[in-house]
Amino acid sequence: MSYCLNPTCPNPENVVYSQRCQSCGSRLLLRDRYRVSKPLGQGGFGATFLAQDEALPGEPSCVIKQLRPSGNAPHVLQMARELFEREARTLGKIGNHPQVPRLLDYFEEQEQFYLVQEYISGATLQQEIKANGVLSEAGVKQFLSEILPLLQYIHEQKVIHRDIKPANLIRRSQDARMVLIDFGAVKNQVTQAAPNQSGQTALTAYAIGTPGFAPPEQMAMRPVYASDIYALGVTCIYLLTSKTPKDLDYNPTTGEMMWEQLVHVSDHLTGVLRKMLDVSVRNRYQSAADVLRALEMEPYLDSLAKSLLVKSDTNTKEKTSQLGDNSAILCSNPSAVGATATGVAQVAAAIRARRAKIAEAAGADAGGIRPAAMGKPGMLPNSNSNSANTQQSKAGRRLDSQTLLTAYLKGRRDFALHNLNFLNLQGSELSETNFHSAQLQSTNLQGANLHNSDFGRASLTRANLRDANLSKAYFNHADLEGADLRGADLSYAHLSNANLRGANLCGANLTGAKILDEQLALAKTNWMTVRPNGKRGLL
């Protein structure tokens, strides 16, 4: 079909390869090369269409955006035209990023403005959630790990997107990468233009963005980089609940979105999202890098800090209380310390110093376990020993196979920091489980269902994961050295920074997996291995 771009055409649909519209007589071949086939959507200032470039071999698809302001008042036309030109300049500047559509052409024809950009084939996040349901915590972490570096890049180019939302994020079908589209609302600098006599400029006369996704300062026409952080946080709530902002309640006193009772995620992720969604821009994360640092921090600082409070006797309690309450406050609130790399280092240093001093006061051995708990000479009274045992760190807690499986059947999904080495969990149902920083060395997980599970920073050396369902699993910084992954389903798994030295990936399905060639070069593959691009063969 050839589609007519005349906004007033009564019947824009025409037969293929027509030269002129049968209804209005307009030329159908734009700039003697672009043939529009169907409309894709329309916003406040532009309509988008799918087209084919007949001047290139194979007539590849492209997207054409036509300037179509919603009103014809002079100031509206001025703003629409400036925004349209700004989008073209922005795409020209940042469109070389693999997660941003490339600008292919920009021109004016018959007093109409057109922008031609790369066509991204795939489903939007909004379509994905409607079709497949909400994401788990691991899925949201994977999404953030994909989009935050892109947002950091955009901000480094001094660009504020101003319209981040599920409908503007497409998972490209070719490689499953997340692509951010619709740069029609971008702002190229943080400082506002000088106001005219009416107190507003053409570009700031209207709040630009999507209500509910745009934070208060953006709706007040004062967007900053942190405004995109807020919109990304709202997007995460949608991914976890499938509810749009208009479907959620708001605190009438503070204006804050009330979402925490609707999600089932760790305290750590809750804290990160809470800070992303702070209505006060001063208290929000100021950059994408800040959010990334907060996510990369040990998610269980609170439980780690509590495990350090080993009680021995009254004297030990007094010494412990003298170590400084500030470090405990920092540890219990990871969202308050994600602002800078220095802050992260200070928290880590505080934990180490606290552990060392407590160990010294309690007479601990190098492993941080009191002699009383081990029955060594110098044992303290049994009551203190029991207290120490009940407050052991979750990081060292050992579970057997039956206990773990029983807990899972009862609804438990959090086994982070646990010692699960050498367990036999063959064929188990353990999907959407949190194994972050757990020890799973030589554990038998052959044929297990581990779909959407979180193995971030976990140790899986020599683990048996043969034929396991690991689709959409999260392995960021995991150690998979020597692991058996033959025949495993790793489709769309997040393997960034994972150690794959000696891992056996023969026959594994890596379709859409986030993994680098350098990582794969360290693993074992064969002609049955399915590459990330979906093709079978040696890598």
CATH number of 19's domain: 3.30.200.20
Question: Average pLDDT in the 445-454 region?
Answer: 94
Catalytic, 53? Answer no
Residues 6+ apart with CB under 8 A from 474: 138, 141, 142, 453, 454, 455, 456, 493, 494
Amino acid 423 reads: L
- Tell me how many helices (H) and strands (E) the chain has: 15, 13
Contact 165, 235 (CB under 8 A): yes
Whole-number pLDDT of residue 18? 85
The CATH code of the domain that includes 278 is 1.10.510.10
Residues 253 and 310 placed together within one structural domain of the fold: no
Residues 94 and 135 placed together within one structural domain of the fold: no
Assess whether pLDDT exceeds 80 at residue 299.
no
Cα–Cα distance, 59 to 402 (Å, whole number): 59
Question: Average pLDDT in the 222-235 region?
Answer: 94
Residues 416 and 482 placed together within one structural domain of the fold: yes
DSSP annotation of 294: H
Residues 16 and 109 placed together within one structural domain of the fold: yes
Mean of the per-residue pLDDT values of the chain: 78
Cα–Cα distance, 166 to 239 (Å, whole number): 8
Domain end, chosen from 118, 144, 178, is at 118
Beta-bridge partner residues of 114: 66, 107
Which helix or strand (DSSP H or E) is residue 36 part of?
strand 34-42
Whole-number pLDDT of residue 221? 84
pLDDT above 90 covers a percentage of the chain that reads 44
pLDDT in tens, 412-443: 888 888 999 999 999 999 998 989 889 999 99
pLDDT above 70 covers a percentage of the chain that reads 74
pLDDT in tens, 98-141: 899 888 888 888 767 888 989 999 999 999 999 999 999 999 99
Residues 6+ apart with CB under 8 A from 64: 5, 30, 34, 36, 48, 49, 50, 51, 114, 115, 116
Axis-axis angle for helices 137-156, 225-241 (nearest 10): 160
Whole-number pLDDT of residue 320? 39
Beta-bridge partner residues of 405: none
Domain end, chosen from 358, 393, 428, is at 393
Does the pTM surpass 0.85? The reply is no
Please pick, among 32, 53, 163, 290, the residue that the annotation labels catalytic. Answer: 163
Residues 181 and 96 placed together within one structural domain of the fold: no
| Within a domain: 336 | yes
**Residues annotated within a binding site:** 65
Q: Closest by alpha carbon to 502, among 519, 488, 490?
A: 519
Whole-number pLDDT of residue 449? 95
Q: Closest by alpha carbon to 180, among 139, 216, 228?
A: 228
Q: Closest by alpha carbon to 124, among 265, 1, 238, 210?
A: 238
Which pLDDT band holds residue 303 (cuts at 50, 70, 90)?
A: very low
Positive or negative, the CA dihedral 237, 437, 427, 494 is positive
Structure tokens at 150: 């892109």
pLDDT in tens, 352-384: 555 454 444 444 333 333 333 333 333 333 334
Question: Average pLDDT in the 386-398 region?
Answer: 46
Residue where the block lists tokens 């009103």: 71
Question: Average pLDDT in the 491-511 region?
Answer: 93
What domain range includes position 344? 301-393
**Residues annotated within a binding site for ATP:** 65
Residues 150 and 275 placed together within one structural domain of the fold: yes
Whole-number pLDDT of residue 424? 94
Residues 409 and 352 placed together within one structural domain of the fold: no
| Within a domain: 199 | no
Q: Closest by alpha carbon to 123, among 68, 179, 42?
A: 179
Domain end, chosen from 260, 295, 330, is at 295
Assess whether pLDDT exceeds 90 at residue 96.
no
- Ranking 255-269, 328-342, 433-447 by mean pLDDT, the lowest is 328-342
Residues 6+ apart with CB under 8 A from 86: 186, 188
Whole-number pLDDT of residue 396? 55
Amino acid 146 reads: E
Assess whether pLDDT exceeds 50 at residue 204.
no
Assess whether pLDDT exceeds 90 at residue 511.
yes
Whole-number pLDDT of residue 203? 39
